[in-house]
Structure 1
Amino acid sequence: MERQVIGTDEARGMAVDDLCRVLSSRRDGLAQSEANDRIQRFGYNELPEKEENAVKKFLRYFWGPIAWMIEAALVISAVIGRWEDFAIILVLLLTNAIVGFWQERQAGNAIAMLKKRLALEARVLRDGRWQEVAARDLVPGDIVRVRNGDIVPADIKLVEGDFLSADESALTGESMPVEKHVSDIAYSGSTVKQGEMTALVAATGDATFFGRTARLAGEAETVSHFQKAVVRIGDYLIVLAIALVTIVFIVSLVRHESILETLQFALVLIVAAIPAAMPAVLSITMAVGATALARKEAIVSRLVAIEEMAGVDVLCTDKTGTITENRLTLAEVVPFGGFEKGDVLFAALLASREEDRDPIDVAIIESKEGQALKEPLRSFTVTGFKPFDPVVKHTEATVRSADGREFRVAKGAPQVILALAGGGENLAEAVDRLSGAFAKKGYRMLGVARSDTPGAWAYAGVLGLHDPPRDDSAATIKTAADMGLDVKMVTGDHTAIAREVAREVNLRTEIATADAFVKESDPRAAEIVEKAAGFAEVFPEHKYRIVSLLQSRGHIVGMTGDGVNDAPALKKADVGIAVAGATDAAKSAAAIVLTKPGSR
């Protein structure tokens, strides 16, 4: 396959027309024949999966220092005709291989069942008309259309439409939806939360941001401490056995003893020196542990993770979706002027639409306070609704009460609502002050206004929204700390949000950003990473380096996560744990996959 014409990073900085020219594309789309040709050149829009041969996988269990010595004993038993010994040694060797292979295969099958692979469809402009095609058939240069609820099928450059709100939490760790406009890039795997736009496919398959992250995960090969310990034991025993056998042969030669008797004695020494049953016993023990974990809804895909878990002393945990719920909720209501909290929330509810499934609207409607006002809302009728507009940056509703009175409500960015309502310097100062206070808490601030007469708006108050910690997060972190684990939170979110979440779950609040260590030499960077309680504003390669630096300081590192952005670090960690609801990339990279929500 050819390398794709351009990467996402280059496409981001190019004008739409320039990118069209580079990709030999047109605004009216590609012809089907062109698309077929590009599939042949660049491949399908999917990540190549390496399927290891089952026979090779099985034969791996016969490779290694201890296995070699057992196999040597097997050969000597056959040569001298000790068939009882031959049978016992063979059974032990096969038991180790069969148990290990079976457990690994069972785990692989369970994870495959967990992967709810959607046969994604994409709306594409081909041969001058819009049509539905399989997302895997998209090629660079295609013109596609994405709308509310769609999973973005490739890395695309937005070329037409008002705006798009995309949830990129699985890719970047950002818990808030990101607003996109013409010429912005929307990444493969992100979810459209609002809006509808036409876009140009810039990169597909492993050339996408998602694909590059998956490649990094593939490069993160690591040998466990347990495997290293077994190899060390094996090396020591091999040296001991060879030394003893050498001495036996020298003595036998000097004393002119029978070669057959010498081989028999060598066999006894090898069998005595090598714990032939050890691999089988270890495999069976770990398989029993894996089965016990499976009953607790944790699937083990790499058996050595069972042993590694016992030695973990640093646990790096992703914030969004692991410590927190990855769901916006209403945290605080602050009224202004003569308004009450209930008035502010009532206006915000009327300016929200449940059917749009916008995360902010859902947070307001599904809040405890919002549900309490559900019945009173029935006596009001929304006669007109203006959805969020990226130009005016607020939603607006015209409402009629049961007695026929009409009024308007609006919600949006605090400064936008301030400009709409006015209110003088005192109100502006109050909004600024609250904005700073909410930012320190990691809240997203929303302004609410009401107008009872045409053209006269009053600033009713503000709402604070945040992604709350899971109910069990604080208790789980305390349990981990009591067991001697140093828990470090890692997130792509802003530092203020990370500090507030750390405070809520009783973690230390010394949060470092990627800038604090990314340009430092390894020894200095390792020192910074070791001392920090958590990390904010990090990318996948930073998470990978955090794990790597901690390992370089002698730590056995566990890592939990659920997104594509966590996959490289999950693979690099000594024990990678994908939490419930994790993406396929995270599940594939992890050694343990949790199927029950929460972190306990």
Structure 2
Amino acid sequence: MTGVAEADLTVSRPHALGVDEISEALRAEPTGLTSAEASARLAVAGRNVLPEAKRKPAVLRFLAHFNDTLIYILLGAAAIKAIMEDWLDFWVIMAVAIINAVIGYLQEGRAEKALAGIRGMLSVDASARRDGAWATVPAAELVPGDVVRLMPGDKVPADVRLIEAFQLRIDESALTGESVPSSKDVAAVAADAGVGDRSSMAFSGTIVSAGQGRGIVTGTGVGTEIGKIQSLVGEAGSLATPLTKQLAGFGKVLTIVILGMAVVMLAIGHFLHDMPFGDLISATIGFAVAAIPEGLPALVTITLAIGVQQMAKRNAITRKLPAVEALGSVTTVCSDKTGTLTKNEMTVRSIVTPVASYEVTGLGYDPAGSVEPLGGAKAGGDLAAILAVATLCNDAHIVPDGERWALVGEPTEGALKVVAMKGGVEASGARIGVVPFDSANKFMATLNEGADGSRAILVKGAPDRLLERSLTQRGADGAVPLDIPSWEAAIDDLSSQGLRVLAAARKAVRADTGAVVIDDLEDLEFLGLWGIVDPPRPEAIEAIADCHTAGIRVKMITGDHKGTALAISREMGLVPRSGDVPVLTGAELEALSQEQLKAVVRDVDVYARTSPEHKIRIVRALQAHGEVVAMTGDGVNDAPALTRANVGIAMGIKGTEATKEAAEIVLADDNFATIRSAIREGRRIYDNLRKSIVFLLPTNGAQSLVILVAIVFGLALPLTPVQVLWVNMITAVTLSLALAYEPAERGIMTRPPRATGGSIINGRELGFVLIVSVLIGGATLGVFYSVVANGTEIAYARTEAVLMLALGQLAYLFNCRFMSRSSITPDVLRGNRVVWWSALALIVLQLIYTYVPFMHDLFDSRPLSIGSWILPILLSIVIFLAVEALKALRRR
């Protein structure tokens, strides 16, 4: 084939085509491609790599972090400071803006990093047949039509349609979420089969667990399933968090108000009082400096950073600051099942023998636990026999790994090995022969020799395959006829509980038997059944209940089968234990339009056999209802949905690098219960952020009010611009951050999620802020003009006015500790030591301002007499009591 067109290298739904059809469609030969043919195809299909996304130049990405209304306010304040030649404050404010941009620049691009993480999953080399011989070629040079072979431990180098499969099993958990390796064969499957059901395919980036296989490459680069996921990550888009939206809106309104008030002041001062232009400009600048909350961006950043530290102590590592607060507004958590709600460690939960049923305690690969008979029965030879098969017809090993136990081998065999350890049965005797597990036969058999020299064939596998090969079953007193109907009923019962069912059988043979073949596996003695499950995490069950109490819906989105998903969700309390529960499968979801999905998405809490595209559709449908969605995941298949969700949460232990890079939060312990703790922490942080803002704004409100009143009535200014800066600085450095350390309010996880949208402070709170501004500003004006009226110099009166502002803010700080209840309680004096350190720091700084000589030169302050402290202190107490009365009215 000399000329190659792109259409010649593209096959639709290769999993549904037979081996001959796929060979003909891609013109693939058993001897493989020639080097010349491979080069020609490579020129058309392109390299088998995932492309890197185009990125903006670094300078533009850095400058983009200054495109924020609050940063505009900061830069405006800096410009004012430069005009006033107050270079120290200019550089302090510029430093805040620059540091904010640097942090954002370093933390941006999680989608790009997620793509890099996905690219890192691809294989480096491949074993391909070229020029009639097997050769190791760079995986990047594979092309559609190449014949490749797969061995245990190999990373599949491209999407491959299998043409030979010998006991081939592939771990696809990173792609599909399946907790056990998938068995593969060459038979075509239905055209509409989901990725997890395409047993005729091996997918790029997955790992061969056992067996061998050969196949024809059908997809490379972006044409692979993992390439499609990369495209979804790039297209998913990320959403702004509720906080960033609220701050942006708040900043815009604040900017307009400040500019409008400044214009009004200029007009009143010029036309009404005919003030000298220089004095008027100076007063207007003073008003703008007073009104701009230049400490707000820093306050938000530092409050969130403190929250990051607190969450890290609870095993939730934050990769992006706004995600801390976004967690607090979550209304729906979409969780993967395997490894998040469950332990991702297969566990035998039930054993059924012809004589009795047994319950197995303990979770995961830890051998702590026991096998307890049900219904008053006693354990006998029936249990010992089935446990002997569990440990001897088994290639897995359970080994200690520090404080944990680790599995070497396949999860299902690990579960059987552990249940034998729990029952006190250890592997002993020699293995003489083996019939390895084959997906076509669905069983494994071994020939074992006992300590007494006797030999027996031990078999484990699919119940239906072993039943059809069995003649008898083990009774209490020896072999009895096989009761197939009772076993079918037992299998149905275990399956209805979401358990994966395996069966055991044995056959005694002569002591000189030296090998075992499939034909020997007839007339077996059936020993019983194991019911195996990936068990729920006990702490996750409690966490789901807490989420429901907090008004947060939890939805399970898994690649597992419908029955397993429903059974686990019932056990976890995610859905009712009885009655009809809607479960939506990937195939059913595929048949729905996005509008139809939007209509039902809130009513469905369990989704099974889903693909990456389905997860994104579910998240988008929920967001269309205004839901704030947190999405958890550990496999690369979860990366697109994590990117799209309001908060992406990755698993730190078993999660892929692609998933961690796509997420904002990484759970160090892979535990759903940590999400509950993180949501609680997010709510606490948001509460404290709002407290801090409600506390900070009256500082600026009172200062600007003082200057506004002076201008409007043509009076002497109670504060100079530099004194305004002093009050701003000491309250920002000391008092503002104290509220970030406040403990959680009572009942924080019993109230519903807060409504999204709107301003960060609502109309009632804005009115509250204005009244408090009037109280503190009025007290300051009263102190200043009463002192001036007594004939005291203006500089002295201004020093006492600064003291009044500082002490008024200190009193108001204690009001803000409890916004939903009274602060007239002993609780206001405890629970947050930072408040007292902040108060001490404020008083020390104010003493320095008042009594240190060089401060008199800098700020034109004067030393106050002891008597001059009495009025500000008394008025501060009055302010505290007045605000408490106002809070009481609000509560009513």
Q: Same fold (TM over 0.5)?
A: yes
Tell me which moved more, 278-287 or 569-578.
278-287
Question: Is 2:55 aligned against 1:56?
Answer: no
Match for residue 226 of structure 2 among 184, 189, 210? 210
Residue 392 of structure 1 corresponds to 441
What is the distance in 2 between the residues matched to 1:500 and 1:123? 42
Q: 1:130 to 1:292 in 2, by over 3 A?
A: farther
- Residue 496 (structure 1) shift: 1.5
Match for residue 240 of structure 1 among 241, 251, 257? 257
Secondary structure of 1:472's counterpart equals: helix
How big is each residue's C-alpha offset from its partner over 1:318-360, in whole Å with a ceiling of 9 and x where there is no partner?
1012111223222222112696122122134332223893433
Contact kept in structure 2, 1:20 and 1:26, CA below 8 Å: yes
What is the distance in 1 between the residues matched to 2:232 and 2:440? 39
Residue 457 of structure 1 corresponds to 524
How big is each residue's C-alpha offset from its partner over 1:532-589, in whole Å with a ceiling of 9 and x where there is no partner?
3332232222222222222222222211110122112211211111012211221121
Residue 650 of structure 2 corresponds to 578
Residue 387 of structure 2 corresponds to 345
Secondary structure of 2:525's counterpart equals: strand
Secondary structure of 2:345's counterpart equals: coil
User: For residues 176-191 of structure 1, what are the structure 2 equivalents within 5 Å?
Assistant: 176-182=180-186, 184-191=200-207
Match for residue 305 of structure 1 among 323, 326, 331? 323
How big is each residue's C-alpha offset from its partner over 1:132-172, in whole Å with a ceiling of 9 and x where there is no partner?
34434433332211122322222111112334222222222
Q: 1:344 to 1:59 in 2, by over 3 A?
A: same
Question: Is 2:604 aligned against 1:539?
Answer: no
- Residue 428 (structure 1) shift: 1.7
User: For residues 496-507 of structure 1, what are the structure 2 equivalents within 5 Å?
Assistant: 496-507=563-574
> Percent of aligned positions with the same letter in both sequences?
33
- Residue 75 (structure 1) shift: 4.5
Residue 26 of structure 1 corresponds to 29
Secondary structure of 1:382's counterpart equals: strand
Match for residue 559 of structure 1 among 613, 621, 631? 631
Q: 1:196 to 1:261 in 2, by over 3 A?
A: farther
Match for residue 450 of structure 2 among 389, 401, 410? 401
Contact kept in structure 2, 1:69 and 1:270, CA below 8 Å: no
Match for residue 303 of structure 2 among 270, 285, 289? 285
Residue 132 of structure 2 corresponds to 128
Greater RCO structure (CA 8 Å; 6+ sep) = 1
Question: Is 2:597 aligned against 1:525?
Answer: yes
What is the distance in 2 between the residues matched to 1:40 and 1:293? 51
Count, aligned residues: 596
- Residue 490 (structure 1) shift: 1.6
User: For residues 141-540 of structure 1, what are the structure 2 equivalents within 5 Å?
Assistant: 141-182=145-186, 184-221=200-237, 222-247=239-264, 267-336=285-354, 340-354=382-396, 357-369=409-421, 372-374=424-426, 377-378=427-428, 380-422=429-471, 427-452=483-508, 456-509=523-576, 510-514=581-585, 519=591, 525-540=597-612
What is the distance in 1 between the residues matched to 2:439 and 2:127? 24
What is the distance in 1 between the residues matched to 2:109 and 2:18? 49
What is the distance in 2 between the residues matched to 1:191 and 1:370? 31
What is the distance in 2 between the residues matched to 1:265 and 1:521? 61
Secondary structure of 2:567's counterpart equals: helix
Q: 1:83 to 1:457 in 2, by over 3 A?
A: closer
What is the distance in 1 between the residues matched to 2:110 and 2:317? 9
- Residue 421 (structure 1) shift: 1.0
Secondary structure of 1:474's counterpart equals: helix
Q: 1:171 to 1:105 in 2, by over 3 A?
A: closer
Q: TM-score, with normalisation over the residues of structure 2? A: 0.61
How big is each residue's C-alpha offset from its partner over 1:113-150, in whole Å with a ceiling of 9 and x where there is no partner?
99986864322223333233443443333221112232
What is the distance in 1 between the residues matched to 2:230 and 2:109? 22
What is the distance in 2 between the residues matched to 1:127 and 1:259? 90
Q: 1:233 to 1:39 in 2, by over 3 A?
A: farther
What is the distance in 1 between the residues matched to 2:610 and 2:89? 57
Contact kept in structure 2, 1:517 and 1:529, CA below 8 Å: no
Tell me which moved more, 230-239 or 270-279.
270-279
Question: Is 2:29 aligned against 1:12?
Answer: no
What is the distance in 2 between the residues matched to 1:371 and 1:136? 50
What is the distance in 1 between the residues matched to 2:557 and 2:531? 23
Contact kept in structure 2, 1:164 and 1:192, CA below 8 Å: yes
Contact kept in structure 2, 1:508 and 1:533, CA below 8 Å: yes
- Residue 417 (structure 1) shift: 0.9
Contact kept in structure 2, 1:148 and 1:196, CA below 8 Å: yes
Segments of structure 2 that go 5 or more residues without pairing to the other structure are 189-199, 357-380, 398-407, 474-480, 510-519, 675-892
How big is each residue's C-alpha offset from its partner over 1:209-260, in whole Å with a ceiling of 9 and x where there is no partner?
1121222122222121111111111221233234335545666886898877
Tell me which moved more, 252-261 or 218-227.
252-261
What is the distance in 1 between the residues matched to 2:279 and 2:420? 84
Residue 596 of structure 1 corresponds to 669
What is the distance in 2 between the residues matched to 1:54 and 1:295? 33
Q: 1:482 to 1:53 in 2, by over 3 A?
A: farther
Aligned amino acid, residue 243 of structure 1: G
What is the distance in 1 between the residues matched to 2:613 and 2:624? 16
Aligned amino acid, residue 236 of structure 1: V
What is the distance in 1 between the residues matched to 2:419 and 2:11? 39
Q: 1:446 to 1:7 in 2, by over 3 A?
A: farther
Aligned amino acid, residue 186 of structure 1: A
Q: Which is higher, the Rg of structure 1 or of structure 2?
A: 2
Aligned amino acid, residue 499 of structure 1: L
Segments of structure 1 that go 5 or more residues without pairing to the other structure are none
Tell me which moved more, 219-228 or 183-192.
183-192
Q: 1:291 to 1:143 in 2, by over 3 A?
A: farther
